[in-house]
Amino acid sequence: MKLEHIYLKIDPSRFHYLKFILEGYDGLSQLSNHDIAKGIVRLRYEKSCQKEMFTLLDSLAPSISSF
């Protein structure tokens, strides 16, 4: 199984919030910090879950944004 990945810039203080939300979607994705001081995180997910992943991220964007 090959995983896709994307990098996101989030508010560093929201890392644990995002991790908690993603854990609720068991198996949807894997979150890791790339440069947590700058708020850069990496999400890995299966290609078949891409639509669900992006729909979820779209709804979470206002609450995790660093802007």
Look at residue 12 and tell me whether its pLDDT is greater than 90.
Answer: yes
Among 28, 7, 31, smallest CA distance to 18 is for 31
DSSP conformational letter for 28 = S
How far apart are the C-alpha atoms of 14 and 36, rounded to whole Å?
10
Q: What 3-state DSSP class applies to 53? A: helix
The pLDDT value given to residue 66: 72
Q: What is the pLDDT of residues 20-44, one digit of tens each?
A: 999 999 989 999 999 989 999 999 9
The structure tokens 């802007």 sit at: 67
Tokens (6 digits) for 46: 């299966």
